[in-house]
Structure 1
Amino acid sequence: MESQQEIKVIKSSGKRAKFSLTKLRSSLKRCGADDHMIDKIVNSVRDELYQGISTKEIYNRAYAMLKKEKHVYASKYKLKKAIYELGPTGFPFEKFVSTILNYSGYKVVLDQQVEGKCVTHEIDVVATKNEKQILVECKFHSEEGRNCDVKIPLYIHSRFQDILLQSTAEETKPQECWVVTNTRFTKDALQYGSCVGLYLLSWDYPINDGLKDRIDRLGLYPITVLSLLSNREKQFLLSRNVVPCRQLIGDQFYLDHLGVSQERQEKIMTEINLLANL
């Protein structure tokens, strides 16, 4: 095998990048695996590396080993992929974002019609905290490797300005506008957002406060991470607007409706409680 430093992997975007053991270790550490398990997975992956291996293949290998060791490790490791699985429509992602805001102390309302000076705008989430109102637009991509370019914040900023022009009373005027995506923003998008005062939230931005960081802190994972549920069961739950795992703690009857055995339900609820840090 070629030395690890020379191995180039193919990312979901199709671009090549140098394989990083450090990043692999970091992602395994974040999901809760101990040093022994991390070393075991890293050594296994390193032994199977070859020039042009896909990041998907590396992920699948690590995921399989984590799942065999402990389901909750695999569920946490799957987080990024699980958010893509909230599609194909963007509504489950909007609900998931609203839940994150709600658990962060905001009062939230989804799908609101807000009057602008020129036209009426449909806003994904209106959130209020300490008498401060923010408008939140969610941009969901179900295709891995796609990023939000500068056209997205340009468009959303223009809508926000139209709403501000219509809002005459200070107490009813929104103070902030957020753009939230499950992918990443391009460099130009980040630069424009910073310049005009938009708050941009993506998978890993702001640094140490991106979606992945907020989800880990809150223990608020989407049901699509659950390794003990089939794809059919996950889609059923999403169709019933069950998006965060925590929701099943109070609505376990959905599992009854799916015909999930009591023994399996207990395993699923154990995993959910571990994810929720309960």
Structure 2
Amino acid sequence: MNIDDIDIIKYSGEKVKFSLDKLRVSLKRTGADDTIINQILDKVRDELYQGISTKEIYNRAFALLKKDKRCFASKYKLKKALYELGPTGFPFEHFVSAVLNYSGYKTEVGKILQGKCVSHEIDVIAHKNSESTLIECKFHSEQGLNCNVKIPLYINSRYQDVKANWNKNSKDNAALTKGWVVTNTRFTKDALQYGSCCGLYLLSWDFPSNNGLKDRIDRLGLYPITVSTLLNQREKQFLLSRSIVLCRDLINDKFYLDHLGVSETRKKKILNEISQLCA
């Protein structure tokens, strides 16, 4: 059967045509060379069948990457790793804050601001160049769930309420200039259209083009601790509960691995894995 005729099933249940080029691009992003990528593509191509799920394709490619080099597999699982920042949205808010810190912002997380009508708990407030930005984070722990137009509609109304009262509470005369919505998934077409129309900045997994979350993370080397292929789920949750959200945080606070009772041999492997990611 021609691979162009093979239908695959996405997490959302949607049926789409398999694309070898899309798989190649996702593998290329890991830093793997063409020889490794072509070997994986050949093996995945041989195992394709009508109606295969994207999850099965991902699992196969991930296993082959991990067999070759763990840091490649860690980068490949970035999208899944963002979902693992749950089950609450709190670690994702800290992750967004950390990414902004490395982009030159000073941030505050979970602060309550008084609006003209009511008070609002804001996920992240970012300050840079005498300007302030209000950021709301919409976290989904399940793949296939996108942010529809109701999300930016709701957040824009909160932003406008806070902005109407901002001058009375502003620090150092910082102007409130922007409202953001950040999600670990994607926005629907209507959500993007509304965000553009009302002036909200929308940031998702792959939007804006070439400057979405995945691009910023790869560019800055700011991988969440959940990308690790060596830490188990319990260990990741322990670290997240102690605000160790980035891999580079663990490099600086490696004593947490001692608290977890990790052996010296395994500790060395974990630190080697995440050091390669942050390089």
Task: Report TM bin, short chain.
Answer: over 0.9
- TM-score w.r.t. length of structure 1: 0.97
The alpha-carbon deviation at position 168 of structure 1 amounts to 3.4
Match of 1:203 in 2: 205
Cα distance in 2 for residues equivalent to 1:239 and 1:197: 34
Q: Matches of residues 103-182 of structure 1 in structure 2 within 5 Å?
A: 103-168=102-167, 171-182=173-184
Q: Do the aligned partners of 1:221 and 1:275 also contact (CA within 8 Å) in 2?
A: yes
Unaligned segments of structure 1, at least 5 residues = none
**Residue 34 (structure 1) aligned with residue 36 (structure 2):** no
Corresponding residue for 2:277? 275
- For residue 237 of structure 1, what is the amino acid of its counterpart? L
Q: Does the 8 A contact of 2:108 with 2:125 survive in 1? A: yes
> In structure 2, what is the equivalent of residue 215 of structure 1?
217
In structure 2, the residue matched to 1:8 is 7
Are 2:130 and 2:175, in contact at CA under 8 Å, matched by a contact in 1? no
Q: Note if contact 1:66-1:74 (Cα within 8 Å) is conserved in structure 2.
A: yes
Counterparts of 1:15 and 1:174 in 2: how far apart (Å)? 40
Give 5+ residue unaligned stretches, structure 2.
none
Deviation at 1:76, TM superposition (A): 0.3
Give the drift of 1:167: 2.4
Give me the whole-angstrom Cα distance separating, in 2, the residues matched to 1:75 and 1:29.
13
Q: Please give the residue correspondences for 1:33-52 in structure 2 after superposition, counting only pairs within 5 Å.
A: 33-52=32-51
Q: Which amino acid aligns with 2:266?
A: R
Asked whether the equivalents of residues 164 and 173 of structure 1 are also in contact (C-alpha less than 8 Å), the reply is no
**Aligned partner of residue 180 in structure 2, secondary structure:** strand
> Which is worse superposed, 142-151 or 266-275?
266-275
* Structure 2 letter corresponding to 1:212: K
User: 2: CA distance between counterparts of 1:257 and 1:6?
Assistant: 52
* CA distance, structure 1, for counterparts of residue 239 and residue 76 of structure 2: 21
The answer as to whether partners of 1:82 and 1:222 remain within 8 angstroms in 2 is: yes
Among residues 247, 250, 275, which one is paired with 2:249 in the alignment?
247
Aligned to 1:70: 69
* Displacement of 1:238: 1.4
Percent of matched pairs sharing the same residue: 67
2-structure distance, mates of 1:38, 1:183: 26
1:265 and 2:267 correspond = yes
Query: TM-score normalized by structure 2?
Result: 0.97
What SS is found at the alignment partner of 1:83? helix
Segments of 4+ moved more than 3 angstroms: none
> Is the Cα contact below 8 Å between 2:131 and 2:174 reproduced in 1?
no
Deviation at 1:272, TM superposition (A): 1.2
Root-mean-square deviation (Å): 1.0
Contact 1:45 1:62 in 2 (8 A): yes
User: Residue 123 of structure 2 aligns to a residue in which SS?
Assistant: strand
The alignment covers a number of residue pairs equal to: 276
Partner of 1:94: 93
Moved more, 231-240 or 203-212: 231-240
> What is the CA distance between 1:172 and its match in structure 2?
4.3
Cα distance in 1 for residues equivalent to 2:73 and 2:163: 45
